[in-house]
């Protein structure tokens, strides 16, 4: 409709402009070509008997979406998703707010142990990394469904292997990608003049400013991510075949090769952490609170968009700025999965498909909404879908991340490293 | 000479005069106060022990052995109290109840005093028993011993015999007055029993009921 | 007593069994549900051989000794402190109008959920908290917050402060409740007076005469407080250390760990937790015996003055400190809930805004509705069952046996962390899918005992002659119950209802576990937010947590007054 109006406005205008338009059209024909093929794929899948049946069975039911509920912005976004799937399929989406995704894991396990194989209470769960690995290993997830979702094509999975690997582990259709995030640091520009922009600089900075930096206690996700970032950077100088082992299951040998650098780094870092490294906060949000209290001066997050919105709520000083470390930024994709015993598997698939729609993905990417990066491959979208992703809003300066084009993304390690690092960390630093 | 002197006491409640008393009680004597309920008997006793409740005003002075104790804290007055209930301490034995009341001193001597006192009132060998295992009359006797052995300078008796049956009442009454005489302590008794007043053989003041 | 056989009397007769079953079945089932996995029986993980691997894993956990010690020491010390301060306040203000004033000042703390109290205390003692702001920078010279270890200190001092402040009003209320009972209170006061007349200073008289008798009535509540604090999670989670945390917190984390095999270790931990609680109770009992033995001679040595003045002054000071801590914590919380940006070391926020309340109230509707629905339902059931059970007691003319009396305390004495995880398993086994019903059942475990304890005395003290008179006039038992006893007991019933609601409002773990996380209440949201990013939102939730029970207590207090005024 909008496009038609545009044409109508164009007709009286000069040839010159229409000429330009023709050129534009021909330039973009390539994009159109691939987009139409992706669009055709989506349409074909949507009209397939399989998906039609899923839509028929899945409509008019409830879906219990177990997702971490510690962020008001994300909660509001999920509420919006609920409104939309209600309008589309008459699905009643209930957001079960978790403090820790592992709660959902233990729930499904409890159900399995009680032989509840068909009537589980978890229909959809926001998950990745070690939680996924654990559920997959214990056969707690429904397999081979992500490929059924019509919108999954839009992530361009054939050319984008990251969409089917969760921390290096093949997802085998057990989960559909939802968003991606990268480790972003932030600081109070009023207090910090020489911002540490690399891991060694951070170590030096903590020595000059003791007690003003810390990280959450592993196995907490954000704390673990900081440790992984450090582990990767510290082993940069190792031979490639040694470095590569970070992306394979951890063995005694690879641990002996890779971990000592991390421990000696932490031994040096800890005395100058907040509370002298004798107490570690229990989650990532506590970091932000300590930043607001000015107890910390440099901190980090996976959701950079929370910073400007926290400033608008007075939860961070107006002088806060965000940046990426120059030596690399750990990045990962997060997914949604369906437990094997979900009572509403088909409804859950409908919700997962909607989460992958350009409408939902572009909304999620808006800084004012959530600011979580889309997993869609924009080249697979029609121009009108692409236009959904254009940014027009006026943002706080902290929405602009310093160094974002000046650094590289670091891949997640193999999930087995989480347990290895946690166990040894707890032995070394867990009892003080 | 032991004496308790009430000097021009006027007790008021909300600026209404309840009673006025001006009396001296000598050692071994019992002053009896009679009157209907609400005539101010208990308020008068409370004033004597220094626990006048809020809302009451008193003027006048209280002298114990010629010392003005009107403004002294109640626990420093050395005025013993005997109620209609024995109010023995259930967590202490009979002996413990009496020892509790006695002044500090040599353990052995204290013990001996208690044994003798118990014997005197016919409670020989009951020192280790729990107060709850005693009869009403026995409890009343222990309560009396407890007051006497605390070496009070005066004793107040607040309806002391009203809960005893008539035979026991006579017996305990005699014992109490006998002991008061023996220890030569001034005593004030509040009662509404005519026979108590007669048995006390002392001066009797009858309070009028307060007009509402 | 011959009782007519009507529907009402049958209902009444069977109600004690229902009450006991409602308490025993879930607790016993829940215990079984952790006992089996503790010995490695967990079919979901293909573990069906009984062995001790859970315990060997448990005891090889780094810092397990510290966890156990932290649980043990914080609960014992805080309960001792709360008890000591209670006694000091009682002793110092025994015959003073200040006793009830202090009770009124501390009373609101009683109804504040543990989580909210922890949040409030956290606001006060955190390095950038209200306390340091009071003294900075003019005295301390700090223009950035000091890097000290409160809260989260490794010794658990912050937990001890939190628990003590929270337990104190409860114990004081119990003691004043005992003193308010006509028979006991009057007797104790008269005995105190006797001791004064025997020349004892008021303080010593209290310690030598009142305390030994009062203690007997406080023993069970004290043990409940001790057991609760040894296994509670809210305070240690919000105020405690995590290198390592207390055992209860560690158990909760293991139960929720990604690594599902930790479930076996967690179950073994739950068994260890029960062991710790039992040892604590025994320790308390032996302390009690030792003190009783040691003080026997002192009680009767005739000493009439044990530094009464010094103790009195010390208590004045202590009471003022405690009241200021509570006052400051409340002020800080109210300020945070309205604060714009508030940088250190400013004593007041740069601006006050209403937006935190606005957003929170928008988001709060579902949790608020859930909170009220669950609390009102469980309290209603608890009140009805309690009244019927007490009526059964009167119809049978004998009090509930001592075993049943003890069973009522059961959910308060057994660490809830130990049986709640098992209870979830039980719900699974019986296929109880309805989250609301599960949560209400779980709440009943804690609401019922408190409602029963709160109502039992008033009901038992009701003059039986009222009933006899009415019966002689031809009233049926049900008429006597509905039209005579209930109206007479309106005041106590409303207070018990307010207490029941307050207890239900404050439940964190039972709501979280029995509701499968599907049911959010103000308390679960507050705990989630307490570890979250915004002090401001957290303050709003904690304040709502405080206001809710306060509102209902106010109603319980005001309704009878209005009714009586209307009649008069």
Q: What is the pLDDT of residue C1?
A: 53
Chain C residue with the nearest C-alpha to that of A281:
C242
Q: What is the pLDDT of residue A392?
A: 63
Which residues span the domain enclosing A312? 184-331+397-429
Q: Which CATH class is domain B1-78+153-160+184-212?
A: alpha beta
Query: Which SS3 state, helix, strand or coil, does residue A180 take?
Result: strand
A vs C: CB pairs below 8 A: 175
Instruction: Examine the domain organization and report whether A101 and A219 are in the same domain.
Output: no
**CB atoms inside a 10 Å sphere around CB B146:** 25
**CB atoms inside a 10 Å sphere around CB A251:** 12
End-to-end CA distance of chain A: 66
For residues C40 and C28, what is the distance between their CA atoms, to the nearest angstrom? 19
Q: Is C147 domain-assigned?
A: yes
What are the residues facing C59 on neighbouring strands?
none
Number of structural domains, chain C? 2
Q: What is the pLDDT of residue A24?
A: 42
What are the residues facing C381 on neighbouring strands?
none
Instruction: Examine the domain organization and report whether C58 and C29 are in the same domain.
Output: no
Instruction: Examine the domain organization and report whether A411 and A281 are in the same domain.
Output: yes
- Does C12 score more than 90 pLDDT? no
Q: What is the pLDDT of residue A289?
A: 86
Q: Is A41 domain-assigned?
A: yes
Which range is least confidently modeled, A212-226, C88-102, C137-151, C317-331?
C137-151
For the segment C507-519, the average pLDDT, to the nearest whole number, is: 84
Residues of C in contact with B73 (CB under 8 A): 201
Q: What is the pLDDT of residue A405?
A: 76
For residues C219 and C243, what is the distance between their CA atoms, to the nearest angstrom? 34
Instruction: Examine the domain organization and report whether C322 and C453 are in the same domain.
Output: no
For residues C129 and C535, what is the distance between their CA atoms, to the nearest angstrom? 11
**What is the percentage of chain B residues whose pLDDT exceeds 90?**
24
CATH of the domain at A339: 3.40.190.10
- Give the CA distances from residue B141 to residues B164, C188, C347, C538, in Å, rounded to whole numbers and listed in that order: 12, 20, 66, 65
B vs C: CB pairs below 8 A: 75
Instruction: Examine the domain organization and report whether A56 and A89 are in the same domain.
Output: yes
Instruction: Examine the domain organization and report whether C271 and C399 are in the same domain.
Output: no
Instruction: Examine the domain organization and report whether A302 and A368 are in the same domain.
Output: no
- Among C335, C508, C524, C533, the residue to mutate for chain A (most A Cβ within 10 A): C533
> Which of C424, C528, C534 comes nearest A289 by C-beta?
C534
Cis peptide before C151 (omega within 30 of 0): yes
Q: What is the pLDDT of residue B1?
A: 63
Q: Is C272 domain-assigned?
A: yes
Which residues span the domain enclosing C100? 54-335
Q: Is C340 domain-assigned?
A: no
B66-106 confidence digits (pLDDT tens): 889 988 888 888 898 888 888 899 999 999 999 999 988 88
Q: What is the pLDDT of residue C361?
A: 86
Instruction: Examine the domain organization and report whether C390 and C311 are in the same domain.
Output: no
Q: What is the pLDDT of residue A30?
A: 44
- Give the CA distances from residue C387 to residues A45, C236, C454, C460, C482, in Å, rounded to whole numbers and listed in that order: 63, 36, 11, 11, 11
Q: Where are the domains of chain B?
A: 1-78+153-160+184-212
SS3 sequence, C348-406? Answer: CCCCECCHHHHHHHHHHHHHHHHHHHHHHHHHHHHHHHHHHHHHHHHHCCCCCCHHHHH
Whether the Cβ atoms of residue A329 and residue A184 lie closer than 8 Å to each other: yes
For the segment C22-35, the average pLDDT, to the nearest whole number, is: 90
B17-70 confidence digits (pLDDT tens): 888 889 999 988 999 998 887 778 888 888 998 888 888 888 899 999 888 998
Q: What is the pLDDT of residue A325?
A: 94
**What is the percentage of chain C residues whose pLDDT exceeds 70?**
97
Q: Is C40 domain-assigned?
A: no
Which range is least confidently modeled, A146-160, C72-86, C93-107?
C93-107
Instruction: Examine the domain organization and report whether A203 and A270 are in the same domain.
Output: yes
- Does C56 score more than 80 pLDDT? yes
Q: Is A5 domain-assigned?
A: no
Q: Is A93 domain-assigned?
A: yes
Instruction: Examine the domain organization and report whether C274 and C407 are in the same domain.
Output: no
CATH of the domain at C324: 1.10.3720.10
Whether the Cβ atoms of residue C10 and residue C477 lie closer than 8 Å to each other: no
With contact defined as 3+ CB pairs under 8 Å, the chains touching B are: C
The answer, for B101 touching chain C at a CB cutoff of 8 Å, is yes
> Is the ipTM value over 0.90, yes or no?
no
Q: Is C343 domain-assigned?
A: no
Whether the Cβ atoms of residue A90 and residue A59 lie closer than 8 Å to each other: yes
- Does C234 score more than 70 pLDDT? yes
Instruction: Examine the domain organization and report whether A257 and A362 are in the same domain.
Output: no
For residues C529 and C541, what is the distance between their CA atoms, to the nearest angstrom? 8
Instruction: Examine the domain organization and report whether A327 and A337 are in the same domain.
Output: no
Q: Is A1 domain-assigned?
A: no
Which range is least confidently modeled, B169-178, C100-109, C172-181?
C100-109
- Among A70, A74, A318, A430, the residue to mutate for chain C (most C Cβ within 10 A): A430
C357-374 confidence digits (pLDDT tens): 988 888 888 889 999 999
Instruction: Examine the domain organization and report whether C62 and C104 are in the same domain.
Output: yes
Instruction: Examine the domain organization and report whether C322 and C381 are in the same domain.
Output: no
Q: What is the pLDDT of residue C376?
A: 96
Judge residue C490's burial from the number of C-beta atoms within 10 Å of its C-beta, 0-12 exposed, 13-18 middle, 19 or more buried: middle
Whether the Cβ atoms of residue A382 and residue A35 lie closer than 8 Å to each other: yes
Q: Which residues 19-38 on chain B approach chain C with CB closer than 8 angstroms?
A: none
Q: What is the pLDDT of residue B53?
A: 82
> Which of A279, A285, A294 comes nearest C242 by C-beta?
A279
**What is the percentage of chain C residues whose pLDDT exceeds 90?**
31
Instruction: Examine the domain organization and report whether A95 and A234 are in the same domain.
Output: no
With contact defined as 3+ CB pairs under 8 Å, the chains touching A are: C
**pTM, entire model:** 0.81
> C144 — phi, psi (to 5°)?
-120, 155
Of C274, C305, C335, which one is at a domain's C-terminal end?
A: C335
Instruction: Examine the domain organization and report whether C209 and C325 are in the same domain.
Output: yes
Looking at per-residue pLDDT, the higher value among C276 and A387 belongs to C276
The answer, for C91 touching chain B at a CB cutoff of 8 Å, is no
The answer, for C48 touching chain A at a CB cutoff of 8 Å, is no
End-to-end CA distance of chain B: 41
- Which strands form B16-26's sheet, in the order they lie side by side? B16-26, B3-13, B56-64, B67-68
Instruction: Examine the domain organization and report whether A141 and A40 are in the same domain.
Output: yes
Q: What is the pLDDT of residue C363?
A: 80
Per-residue pLDDT of chain A (432 residues; tens, 9 = 90+): 333 333 333 333 333 444 444 444 444 444 444 445 678 888 888 889 999 999 999 999 999 999 988 777 888 899 999 999 999 999 999 998 887 788 888 888 888 887 889 989 899 999 988 889 889 988 999 999 999 999 999 998 888 877 888 888 889 999 999 998 889 999 999 889 899 999 999 999 999 999 999 999 998 889 999 999 999 999 999 998 998 899 889 999 999 999 999 999 999 999 999 988 988 988 888 898 889 888 899 999 988 878 888 888 888 989 999 999 999 899 889 999 999 999 999 999 999 999 999 999 999 988 778 888 889 988 888 888 888 888 766 678 887 888 877 778 888 888 889 889 999 999 999 887
Q: Is C299 domain-assigned?
A: yes
Instruction: Examine the domain organization and report whether A261 and A136 are in the same domain.
Output: no
Number of structural domains, chain A? 2
Instruction: Examine the domain organization and report whether C327 and C437 are in the same domain.
Output: no
Looking at mean pLDDT, say which of C212-221, C286-295, C323-332 comes out highest: C286-295
Instruction: Examine the domain organization and report whether C166 and C73 are in the same domain.
Output: yes
B112-129 confidence digits (pLDDT tens): 999 988 988 888 889 999
Q: Is C498 domain-assigned?
A: yes
The answer, for B125 touching chain C at a CB cutoff of 8 Å, is no
Strand duo A165-166 + A169-170: pairing:
antiparallel
What DSSP state is assigned to residue A156? -
Instruction: Examine the domain organization and report whether A381 and A422 are in the same domain.
Output: no
Residues of C in contact with B79 (CB under 8 A): 197
Q: B49, C200: Cβ pair inside 8 Å? A: no
Judge residue A123's burial from the number of C-beta atoms within 10 Å of its C-beta, 0-12 exposed, 13-18 middle, 19 or more buried: buried
For residues A133 and A170, what is the distance between their CA atoms, to the nearest angstrom? 10
Chain C residue with the nearest C-alpha to that of B86:
C191
CA distance C564 to chain A (A): 46
Which range is least confidently modeled, B146-150, C199-203, C471-475?
C471-475
Exposure letters C8-40 (e unless 16+ CB within 10 A, then b) = bbeebbebbeebbebbeebbebbbebbbbbbbb
Q: Is A51 domain-assigned?
A: yes
Q: Is C341 domain-assigned?
A: no
Instruction: Examine the domain organization and report whether A381 and A316 are in the same domain.
Output: no
Q: Is A25 domain-assigned?
A: no
Helices in chain B by DSSP H: which ranges? 41-49, 94-101, 107-120, 136-149, 166-183, 194-200
């Amino acid at each position: 409709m909008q496009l038609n109006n545009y044409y109508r406005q164009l007709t009286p205008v000069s040839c010159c402009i229409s000429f330009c338009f023709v050129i534009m059209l021909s330039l973009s024909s390539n994009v159109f070509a691939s987009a139409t093929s992706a669009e055709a794929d989506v349409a074909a899948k949507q009209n397939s008997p399989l998906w039609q049946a899923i839509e028929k069975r899945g409509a008019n039911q409830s879906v219990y979406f177990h997702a971490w509920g510690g962020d008001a912005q994300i909660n509001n976004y999920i509420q919006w998703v609920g409104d939309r799937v209600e309008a589309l399929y008459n699905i009643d989406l209930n957001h079960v707010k978790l403090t820790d995704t592992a709660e959902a894991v233990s729930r499904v396990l409890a159900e399995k142990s009680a032989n509840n194989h068909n009537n589980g209470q978890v229909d959809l769960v926001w998950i990745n990394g070690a939680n996924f690995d654990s559920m997959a290993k214990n056969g707690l997830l429904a397999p081979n469904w992500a490929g059924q979702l019509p919108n999954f094509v839009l992530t361009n999975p054939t050319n984008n292997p990251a969409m089917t690997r969760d921390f290096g582990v093949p997802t085998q259709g057990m989960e559909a990608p939802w968003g991606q995030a990268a480790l972003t640091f932030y600081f109070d520009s009023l207090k910090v003049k020489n911002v540490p922009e690399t891991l060694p600089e951070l170590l030096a900075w903590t020595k000059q400013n003791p007690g003003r930096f810390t990280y959450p206690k592993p196995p907490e996700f954000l704390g673990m991510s900081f440790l992984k970032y450090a582990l990767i950077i510290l082993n940069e100088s190792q031979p490639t075949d040694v470095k590569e082992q970070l992306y394979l299951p951890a063995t005694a040998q690879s641990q002996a090769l890779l971990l000592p650098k991390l421990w000696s780094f932490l031994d040096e870092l800890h005395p100058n952490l907040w509370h002298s490294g004798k107490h570690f906060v229990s989650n990532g949000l506590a970091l932000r609170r300590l930043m607001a209290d000015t107890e910390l001066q440099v901190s980090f997050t996976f959701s950079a968009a929370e910073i400007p919105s926290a400033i608008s709520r007075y939860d961070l000083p107006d002088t806060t700025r965000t940046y990426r470390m120059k030596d690399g930024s750990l990045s990962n994709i997060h997914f949604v999965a369906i437990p094997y015993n979900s009572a509403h598997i088909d409804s859950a698939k409908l919700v997962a498909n909607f989460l992958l729609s350009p409408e939902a993905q572009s909304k999620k990417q808006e800084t004012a909404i959530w600011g979580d990066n889309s997993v869609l491959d924009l080249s697979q979208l029609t121009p009108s879908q692409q236009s959904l992703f254009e940014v027009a809003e006026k943002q706080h300066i902290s929405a602009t991340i310093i160094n974002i084009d000046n650094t590289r993304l670091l891949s997640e390690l193999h999930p087995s490293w989480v347990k290895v690092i946690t166990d040894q960390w707890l032995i070394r630093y867990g009892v003080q | 000479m032991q004496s308790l002197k009430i000097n021009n006491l006027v007790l008021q409640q909300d600026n209404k005069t309840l009673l006025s008393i001006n009396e001296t009680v000598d050692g071994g004597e019992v002053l009896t106060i009679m009157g209907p309920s609400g005539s101010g008997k208990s308020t008068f006793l409370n004033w004597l022990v220094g626990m006048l409740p809020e809302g009451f005003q008193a003027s006048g002075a209280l002298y114990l052995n010629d010392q003005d104790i009107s403004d002294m804290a109640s626990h420093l007055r050395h005025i013993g109290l005997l109620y209609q209930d024995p109010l023995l301490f259930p967590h202490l034995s009979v002996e413990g109840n009496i020892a509790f009341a006695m002044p500090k001193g040599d353990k052995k001597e204290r013990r001996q005093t208690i044994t003798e006192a118990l014997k005197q009132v016919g409670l020989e060998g009951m020192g280790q028993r729990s107060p709850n295992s005693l009869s009403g009359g026995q409890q009343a006797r222990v309560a009396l011993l407890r007051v006497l052995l605390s070496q009070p300078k005066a004793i107040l008796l607040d309806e002391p015999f009203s809960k005893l049956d008539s035979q026991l009442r006579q017996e305990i009454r005699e014992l109490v007055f006998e002991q008061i005489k023996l220890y030569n302590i001034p005593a004030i008794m509040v009662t509404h029993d005519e026979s108590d007043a007669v048995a006390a053989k002392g001066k009797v003041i009858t309070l009028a009921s307060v007009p509402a | 007593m011959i009782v007519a056989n009507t529907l009402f009397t049958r209902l009444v007769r069977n109600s004690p069994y229902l009450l006991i079953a409602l308490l025993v079945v879930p607790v016993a089932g829940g215990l079984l549900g952790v006992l089996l996995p503790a010995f490695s029986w967990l079919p979901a993980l293909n573990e069906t051989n009984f062995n001790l691997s859970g315990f060997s894993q448990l005891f090889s956990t780094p810092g397990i000794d510290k966890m156990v010690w932290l649980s043990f020491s914080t609960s014992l010390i805080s309960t001792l402190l709360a008890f000591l301060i209670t006694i000091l306040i009682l002793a110092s203000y025994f015959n003073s109008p200040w006793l009830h004033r202090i009770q009124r000042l501390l009373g609101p703390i009683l109804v504040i959920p543990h989580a909210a109290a922890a949040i409030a205390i956290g606001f006060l003692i955190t390095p950038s908290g209200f306390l340091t702001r009071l003294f900075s920078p003019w005295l301390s010279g700090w223009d950035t917050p000091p890097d000290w270890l409160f809260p989260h200190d490794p010794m658990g001092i912050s937990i001890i402060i939190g628990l003590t402040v929270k337990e104190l009003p409860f114990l004081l209320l119990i003691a004043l409740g005992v003193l308010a009972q006509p028979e006991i209170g009057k007797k104790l006061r008269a005995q105190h007076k006797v001791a004064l007349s025997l020349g004892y200073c008021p303080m010593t008289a209290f310690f030598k005469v009142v305390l030994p008798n009062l203690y007997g009535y406080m023993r069970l509540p004290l043990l409940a407080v001790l057991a609760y604090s040894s296994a509670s999670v809210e305070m240690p989670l919000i105020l405690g250390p995590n290198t390592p945390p207390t055992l209860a917190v560690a158990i909760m984390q293991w139960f929720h760990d990604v690594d599902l095999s930790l479930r076996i270790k967690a179950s073994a931990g739950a068994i260890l937790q029960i062991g710790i609680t039992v040892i604590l109770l025994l320790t308390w009992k032996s302390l009690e015996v030792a003190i009783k033995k040691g003080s026997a001679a002192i009680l009767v040595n005739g000493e009439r003055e044990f530094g009464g003045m010094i103790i009195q002054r010390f208590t004045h000071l202590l009471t003022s400190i405690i009241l200021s801590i509570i006052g400051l914590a409340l002020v800080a919380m109210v300020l945070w809930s309205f604060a714009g940006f508030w940088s250190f070391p400013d004593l007041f926020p740069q601006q006050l805004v209403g937006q935190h309340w606005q957003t929170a109230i928008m988001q709060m509707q579902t949790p608020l509705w859930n909170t009220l629905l669950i609390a009102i339902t469980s309290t209603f059931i608890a009140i009805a069952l309690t009244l019927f059970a007490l009526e059964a007691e009167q119809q049978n003319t004998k009090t509930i046996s001592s075993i049943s009396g003890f069973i009522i305390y059961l959910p308060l004495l057994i660490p809830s962390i130990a049986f709640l995880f098992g209870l979830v398993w039980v719900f699974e086994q019986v296929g109880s899918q309805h989250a609301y019903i599960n949560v209400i059942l779980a709440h009943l475990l804690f609401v019922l005992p408190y409602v029963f304890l709160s109502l039992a005395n008033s009901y038992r003290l009701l003059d039986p002659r009222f009933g006899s008179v009415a019966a002689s006039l031809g009233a049926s038992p049900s008429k006597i119950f509905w039209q005579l006893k209930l109206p007479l007991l309106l005041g106590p019933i409303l207070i018990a209802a307010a207490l029941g609601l307050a207890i239900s409002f404050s439940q964190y773990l039972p709501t979280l576990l029995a509701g499968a996380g599907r049911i959010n209440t103000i308390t679960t949201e507050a705990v989630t937010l307490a570890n979250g990013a915004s002090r401001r939102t957290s303050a709003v939730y904690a304040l709502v947590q405080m206001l809710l029970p306060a509102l209902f207590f106010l109603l319980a207090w005001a309704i009878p007054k209005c009714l009586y005024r209307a009649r008069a």
